[in-house]
Amino acid sequence: MASYKQLAKGNWKVTVSLGYGNDGKRQRVIKQGFKTKKDAEIFVTETLNQRNRGYISPSASNMLFKDFITKWYTEYKQFNIGINTRVGYQSRIKTHIIPMLGNYKLNEITTPIIQDFYNIMISEKKLKPATVKKSMDILISCFKYAKKNKLIYELPTEIEKQKIEKPKIKVWNKDHVQLFLNKIKGTYLYTPIFIDVLTGLRLSELCGLRWCDVDLDNGYLTVNHQLIYDAITRTLLLGGLKTESSHRKISIPTILINYLKELKEYRKAEKNDYLVLDRNDFKYTPKSLSMNFTKKIAKYKEQLPQITFHGLRHTHATILISNGENIKVVSERLGHTDIRMTLNTYTHVMEDMKNNTASLLDDIFKKDE
């Protein structure tokens, strides 16, 4: 048996009675957001059919989504993702998902509701495309889990997504790098910036570098760890890397080898395992390093493009590619999963190189005239 009610906004709400459970309590499924009564009737038919086959759990009608997503994350999801990824999940669930969707009951959330959530993130909140995508990825994973456990009968996350233009990455050229290094010489920022420009490491990888990871005799460093903030324990941990391709050896130029030899000698008495951090108690964290970098370059707005710390990694790759380094070599150096990721990220550099092809051909064949 079902009852229908048209809401103030014109949408329809339906209550489906499923009888009584073993505990003697009445079981119901309540859902709203249907554009027409016909849509609500279709839902009732499907719910009763699937309930008869043992598909829908009535408990979903009483469970708030904020309680469900919290339970899903704490009891399941967090154990299947890396520590670094947990920070992003916790932040997006707390900041974006629960404030907008948390007070709905689990089985009340429909595709139009998720569509509104998506549209608001893009149009009203104007969040970065990456933030929107990652928030949607969390919802998709969460609702798939709900469906698998027979709490809902369909996924409400199959929405119409807008074509979002990917923002062009901001990088420095060689002159910008040299200018900034001259400005920060003698400060604690110099070492991490100098290393990152010449290696292209991710910030967490850079902060996780220890002297045992560097082979100065053979001219390479090994990336096997990253320094990450665990939001659960509120501590910095030396953890593993996210993907197999992130584990890699990176050749380093002579200029960096010589600098690190001097640095190692200078710090010999400090008994500090880390290259970038000044001490083992992690006084300087990846976040503070990034923030201090941003504050520092803001003082030179007229001379330097305002990039993020991650922009140094992009700068490293862009300089290599624009100077003719093989794209596969660059991809492996960056620890990308495959070469397509590198090509997609640095499309602008590849386009510039295409434009230079004609000039290159002119130079080659003019020599034969």
219-228 per-position pLDDT tens digit: 999 999 888 8
> Per-residue confidence at 20, pLDDT binned at 50, 70, 90?
low
User: Between 228 and 78, where is the model more confident?
Assistant: 78
Going along the chain from its start, the domains and CATH numbers come out as 1-61 (no CATH), 63-163 (1.10.150.130), 174-360 (1.10.443.10)
In this predicted model, what pLDDT tens digit does every residue of 187-224 receive, in sequence order? Answer: 989 999 999 999 999 999 999 999 999 999 999 999 99
How would you class 363 by CB atoms within 10 Å of its CB: exposed for 0-12, middle for 13-18, buried for 19 or more?
exposed
Task: Return d(Cα 240, Cα 223) in angstroms, integer.
Answer: 10
3-state class of 13 per DSSP? strand
Cα–Cα distance for residue pair 104/82, rounded to 1 Å: 29
Q: What are phi and psi of 29, to 5 degrees?
A: -120, 125
Q: Which of 10-14, 216-220, 232-236 has the lowest mean pLDDT?
A: 232-236
- CB 208, CB 335: distance < 8 Å: no
pTM for the model? 0.72
CB contact at 8 A, 58 and 29:
yes
CA angle 63, 82, 293 (to 5 degrees): 110
- If 0-12 CB within 10 Å is exposed, 13-18 middle and 19+ buried, where does residue 32 land? buried
Least-confidence region, from 52-56, 152-156, 172-176, 202-206: 52-56
